[in-house]
Amino acid sequence: MPNSPLTPGIVPARLSAEALARNFADHEPPFDLHEARVAADRCYFCHDAPCMAACPTTIDIPLFIRQIATGTPEAAAKTIWSQNILGGICARVCPTETLCEEACVREAAEGKPVEIGRLQRFATDTAMAKEVHPFSRSPSTGKRVAVVGAGPAGLACAHRLAMKGHEVTVFERRPKAGGLNEYGIASYKATGGFAAHEVDWLLSIGGITLRTGVELGRDITLDALRGEYDAVFLGLGLQGVNALRAEGEEKEGVRNAVDFIAELRQAPDLGALPVGRDVVVIGGGMTAVDAAVQSKLLGAENVTIVYRRGQDRMSASTHEQDHAVQAGVRIIHNAAPLRVLGNGRVEAVEFAYTEDGPGGLTLLPETFRLKADQVFKAIGQTLTGAPDGIRPEGGKIALTPAKVWAGGDCRAGGEDLTVTAVAEGRDAAEAIHAHLTAA
Amino acid sequence: MADLTSNFIGIKSPNPFWLASAPPTDKQYNVERAFEAGWGGVVWKTLGAEGPPIVNVSGPRYGAIWGADRRLLGLNNIELITDRPLEVNLREIKEVKRKWRDRALVISLMVPCEEDYWKAILKAIEDTEADGVELNFGCPHGMAERGMGSAVGQVPEYIEMVTRWVKQYSRMPCIVKLTPNVTSILPPAMAANRGGADAVSLINTIKSITNVDLDNFSPFPMIDGKGSHGGYCGPAVKPIALNMVGEIARHEETRGLPISGIGGVTTWRDAAEFLAMGAGNVQVCTAAMTYGFKVVQEMITGLSQYLDEKQMRLDQLVGRAVPNFVEWQHLNLNYVTKAQINQEECIKCGRCYAACEDTSHQAIAMSPERVFSVKDEDCVACNLCVNVCPVENCITMVPMAKGALDPRTGRPVGDFADWTTHPNNPMAVQAAE
Ligand SMILES: Cc1cc2nc3c(=O)[nH]c(=O)nc-3n(C[C@H](O)[C@H](O)[C@H](O)COP(=O)(O)OP(=O)(O)OC[C@H]3O[C@@H](n4cnc5c(N)ncnc54)[C@H](O)[C@@H]3O)c2cc1C
Ligand SMILES: Cc1cc2nc3c(=O)[nH]c(=O)nc-3n(C[C@H](O)[C@H](O)[C@H](O)COP(=O)(O)O)c2cc1C
Ligand code: SF4
Ligand code: SF4
Ligand code: SF4
């Protein structure tokens, strides 16, 4: 008897291979030419466009949309990439509803913004299919830069530096480059191995040596890098996960959502990936939503997100929340975990209702229990293993020693988004370039 | 990136996109911002003779035609030439040219049709270091009533005479800007050529009334209850301009006369079409007035990508379509195509059916399941269905191979044969004898 959503425990193959393939297909299929034309036609080519200001990488949105409208998506892609070299993945994962599309004047006018993200994907997909790298390198400067972390921040930094003629070595502790593009982003947002393909495409500019399986702090030190290279960029992301601080969180069946997601992203066969029947996800951000939705898509019967504050405080956008609800996920607000119950392995979680007042969050006396055979912790990632010589402030890197720059999730300021990491990596590269070419 | 550097009658500019003489080029502030945005050159807003400046209306100057989603398709204006003092314009022109050596700066002129006026104005602009002059024989409103603009442009003898004066009193390259408000564009172009013009530019605006105010019973733009005709420009006039440019480019007497193409250029594609039809560069007004100076960036990247894809230099594009611009009598009457509907693309709206059944050749069949298909035996290949179908490339015109039997005529597709040799043409029979 094969497994089904009703099979108790954490088991693989709750759904047929076909159902899994369907569930994990591209959740927002790409535009075809006609759709792209119609969508592009809606753009007003605004002056000093608000959408552009709302894009952390400041892509010239009106220009690239006009380039699509006039039948030159390749030129559009170049407009995108000149600001955001990871415009392909950003087109898929950016919460556009809180960025460019929220600012679009047609959102204000009609509640229907120009579909900037999907148009960006149309342009970058079209141009990437040509398999030619759009940029070439400036003559060699003879300068060498170390980039630690091959996530969006590190890759954007490395690319811009290579373009300026510097020699770049990227150190990455994981076996593959891409950071959370490869190990974190929901799989239905970046199907078909897109993240890995984009990394290869990015690296094809040349001048970038990628060294995977090398960890700063274990295999190399910051001091050594500072000695050996003319500059160092840290794009470490956030490698730690916050604890629930609920009794019994060490029980079997309780897991970090990011680890589950990373495993899912790397699974060669989704049918072999075990998931619970009653899954409880604790948290309110994108990680919580992604863990919950993907559990549901794997065939879990009941999936519940429990967030300790009200809906308006959730960092997952309303669009993401709607997406979760549509996938069949239940979202409970204003409840905090008290203890994980079960004999060695989780059987249920007990929550207290909360009240979010001016004095902070208070637990109310009333409690409830949710049946659970799998619990995912998704209450935020933290910076761990900050290299010697760097003292994080507020959990992030604010100040860096001479010759060292930082960007992306590990750096203080900015939202923890792919596009923000790209912007910070790119800007750090410009700062490094200015530093290296001064005097 | 293809090299877009342009050399038009010896005037160099980093790209072939110039702003036409109009409000966008009215003053130093505009022109410098246009250059910053990337425009290759400008033709300064038309200057008039010394003396009290022109006076414009202080009510609406524009009428417009919109497409769906309020897209501006046609613009009509009743603005006159510059209303700023001559010396202010001259000072600014000089300053701009000093600062922007690599850009083209041409001065547009319009003074009364008397030799002394032209002599004086040419003298006045002599030390601005501008790259050339454009003679505005085009404005169809206001100035025409005063014997200038299109009033000159409609009389070939005047065009020739004034052009001669200009060539006599100035060493600057001279572009003659033509009005489309004529029955044929050829006599004015020939006159400019005879007068010694280095180039012609066209088109200026077309006499028009965009709409009538149905409450006040006045044409629009309405000034205190009255309206007058204006000059029409923008995307709507492009087809008219393209034809006129092509006619000059192919005519034996004017062939080789450089042309600056104007009229509805909005995208790189429009520009490329003008170039292919024989224009050496293009001028733009309405697109900039609708979208701002930045619109040139799309023209630059688009034309450059096109040239790269075609592996063509800019000068190789110029005039490339001219040999294929022929008169009707030279079209191959034995060329047979048939409309073909791609059933996968078809959304079953039935517009092709309505168009063909009601107004054309009853060549589309409609089944009870709303399947639309072409009846080859009735299809004359007019392509009306292609043009009304909302789905791009859903209906295509498929050429029939030579020798294949055309089910409509029952005859095999033959070799090239045009009207000049057609049996139904009485002249053809004569010629054959
Ligand atoms: C589950 C999940 C879903 C998300 N979904 C979205 C989304 O849909 N849209 C969106 O915009 N953002 C999303 N985000 C956020 C986004 O992924 C991050 O903001 C972004 O990846 C940050 O980029 P980064 O380069 O700073 O860090 P990362 O992507 O984390 O990359 C850091 C890299 O550094 C490496 N590294 C770390 N320490 C060392 C070391 N000591 N030595 C060598 N290498 C090291 C890591 O292995 C990693 O490859 C999501 C995040 C998560 C966790
Ligand atoms: C408001 C307005 C004012 C114009 N003024 C002039 C002018 O002073 N001199 C001139 O030669 N053409 C003038 N034109 C015509 C333009 O230069 C151009 O020939 C015409 O608008 C067609 O180009 P377009 O379709 O790109 O607008 C004017 C056009 C407009 C819209
Ligand atoms: S705000 Fe909207 S309409 Fe305006 S330029 Fe941006 S995408 Fe286009
Ligand atoms: S465009 Fe400017 S000058 Fe013209 S009416 Fe509007 S506000 Fe006035
Ligand atoms: S007009 Fe086009 S889409 Fe509509 S029925 Fe005809 S072929 Fe189909």
pLDDT tens-digit readout, A235-245: 999 999 998 88
Residue labelled with tokens 């300068």: A143
The verdict on residue A135 lying in a domain is: no
The closest-lying atom of ligand 1 relative to the alpha carbon of residue A215 is: 42
The answer to whether residues A254 and A299 belong to one domain is: yes
Q: Could you read off the pLDDT of A225-236 as tens digits, one per residue?
A: 999 999 999 999
**Ligand 1 site, residue A87, Cβ cutoff 6 A:** no
Residue range A349-365, pLDDT digits in tens? 999 999 998 888 999 99
Q: Which of A41, A47, A66 sits opposite B298 (nearest CB)?
A: A66
Same domain, residue pair A391 and A329: no
Separation of CA A239 and ligand 2 centre (Å): 62
A276 and A392: one domain? no
Interface confidence (ipTM) of the complex:
0.90
Same domain, residue pair A336 and A371: yes
Testing the interface with A: which of B305, B307, B342 to mutate, by most A Cβ within 10 A?
A: B305
Indicate which ligand has the atom closest to the C-alpha of B58: 4
Number of domains in chain A: 3
Show residues of chain A in contact with B269, CB under 8 Å.
70-71
From chain B, pick out residues whose CB is under 8 angstroms from the CB of A52. Answer: none
Instruction: Write out chain A residues lying below 8 Å of B292, CB-based.
Output: 45, 47
Which among A226, A211, A212, A303 is positioned nearest to A23, based on CA atoms?
A303
Q: With a 6 A CB cut-off, is B341 part of the ligand 5 pocket?
A: yes
Mean predicted lDDT score pLDDT of chain A: 95
Q: Is residue A19 part of a domain?
A: no
Q: Quick one: B101 exposed, middle or buried, by C-beta within 10 A (0-12, 13-18, 19+)? A: exposed
Looking at the CA of A261, which ligand is closest?
1
pLDDT tens track for A189-204: 999 999 999 999 999 9
Q: Given A326, A359, A377, which residue is the final one in a domain?
A: A377
- Residues A227 and A148 reside in one and the same domain: yes
CA distances from A202 to A56, A110, A275, B217 (A): 20, 37, 35, 63
Give Cα B284 distance to the centre of its chain. 9
CB-based contact, B359 to chain A, within 8 Å: no
Does B139 qualify as catalytic in the annotation? yes
- Burial of residue B161, with CB atoms counted within 10 A of its CB: 0-12 exposed, 13-18 middle, 19 or more buried: middle
Domains in chain B with CATH codes: 6-324 (3.20.20.70), 328-432 (3.30.70.20)
Question: Tokens 């929901």 label which residue?
Answer: A186
Name which residue sits closest to atom 18 of ligand 2, judged by CA.
B204
What was the pLDDT predicted at A1?
56
Indicate if A420 and A296 belong to the same structural domain: no
A105 — pLDDT class (breaks 50, 70, 90): very high
pLDDT greater than 90 at residue A114: yes
Residue A139 resides in a domain: no
Give A376's Cβ-side CA count (13 Å radius): 34
Q: Which two tokens stand for residue B306?
A: 């096109």
| Of residues A33, A41, A70, nearest to B269 (C-beta) | A70
Cβ of A149 less than 6 Å from ligand 1: yes
* One domain, residues A215 and A302: no
Ligand 3 centroid–CA A116 distance in Å is: 8
Strand B11-13, strand B6-8: pairing: antiparallel
- What's the token pair of residue B88? 């202010």
Residues near A168 by Cβ (< 8 Å), separated by ≥ 6?
A: A144, A145, A146, A147, A158, A161, A162, A207, A208, A209
Task: Determine the Cα–Cα distance for residues A157 and A151; give it in Å rounded to an integer.
Answer: 10
Say how far apart CA B11 and CA A132 lie, in whole Å. 36
Q: Which of B352, B367, B388, B392 to mutate to test the pocket of ligand 5 (most atoms within 8 A of CB)?
A: B352
Number of residues that make up chain B: 433
CA distance B154 to A125: 53
Residue ending a domain, among A328, A347, A377, is A377
In a domain, A134, yes or no: no
Residues A286 and A360 grouped into a single domain: yes
A71 at the B interface (CB within 8 A)? yes
Q: What is the largest CA-CA distance in chain A?
A: 74
Residue-wise pLDDT tens digits, A120-134: 999 999 999 998 899
B35, B38, B42, B45 alpha-carbon torsion, rounded to 10°: -60
Residues contacting B369, CB < 8 A, separation 6+? none
The pLDDT of residue B284 is 98
Residue range A237-285, pLDDT digits in tens: 999 999 888 999 999 999 999 999 999 999 999 999 999 999 999 999 9
CATH number at residue A74: 1.10.1060.10
Q: Answer yes or no: do A79 and B292 touch at CB < 8 A.
A: no
Residues of chain B with pLDDT under 70: 429-433
CA distance B401 to B378: 18
Q: Which residues of A touch B294 (CB under 8 A)?
A: 45, 47, 62-63
Whether residue A24 is contained in a domain is answered as: no
Co-location of A207 and A282 in the same domain: no
pLDDT, one tens digit per residue, over A351-406 is 999 999 888 899 999 999 999 999 999 999 999 988 888 888 888 999 899 999 99
pLDDT of amino acid B150: 85
DSSP state of A276: -
Which residue, A338, A358, A377, sits at the end of a domain? A377
Name the token pair of A211: 């060294």
d(CA A340, CA A338): 7
| Contact present, A67 and A164 (Cβ < 8 Å) | no
Residues A333 and A246 in one domain: yes
Same domain, A389 and A421: yes
CATH of the domain at A424: 3.50.50.60
Give the pLDDT score at A439.
66
Q: Give the pLDDT of residue B431.
A: 52
DSSP structure string for A112-173: ----HHHHHHHHHHHHHTTT--S--PPPP---EEEEE--SHHHHHHHHHHHHTT-EEEEEES
- The rounded distance, in Å, linking the Cα atoms of B176 and B136 is 7
Please compute the mean of the pLDDT values over residues A107-124 and round it to a whole number. 97
Instruction: Identify whether the C-beta of residue A188 lies closer than 8 Å to the C-beta of residue A27.
Output: yes
B189, B200 contact by CB (below 8 A): yes
Q: Which amino acid is at B95?
A: E
Scanning B249-268 for CB atoms below 8 A from A yields 267-268
Q: Which atom of ligand 2 is nearest to the CA of B287?
A: 26
Residue A15 inside a domain? The answer is no
Residue A432 in this model has a pLDDT that exceeds 70:
yes
Q: Are residues A92 and A169 in the same domain?
A: no
In a domain, A152, yes or no: yes
Q: Read off the pLDDT band of A300 (50, 70, 90).
A: very high
Instruction: Give the C-alpha distances (Å, rounded to integers) separating B36 from B40, B96, B99, B108, B297.
Output: 10, 12, 11, 21, 11
pLDDT band at residue A6 using 50, 70 and 90 as cut-offs: very high
Mean pLDDT of A135-160: 97
Domain range holding A263?
241-377
CA gap A358, B427 in Å, rounded = 97
Q: What residues of A are in contact with residue B304 (Cβ under 8 Å)?
A: 75
Residues within a 6 A CB radius of ligand 3: A 43-46, 49-51, 61-62, 65, 104-106, 114, 116
How far apart CA A111 and CA A152 sit, in angstroms, is: 31
Report whether pLDDT(A330) > 60: yes
Position A266 in a domain: yes
Q: How far is CA A136 from CA A81, A205, A427, A430, B332, in A?
A: 13, 6, 19, 16, 48
pLDDT in the model for residue B342: 97
Q: What is the pLDDT of residues A337-347, one digit of tens each?
A: 999 999 999 99
Question: CA nearest A315: which of A283, A291, A342, A348?
Answer: A283
Q: Which atom of ligand 2 is closest in space to residue B138's alpha carbon?
A: 11
Ligand 5 atom nearest the C-alpha of B341 is 7
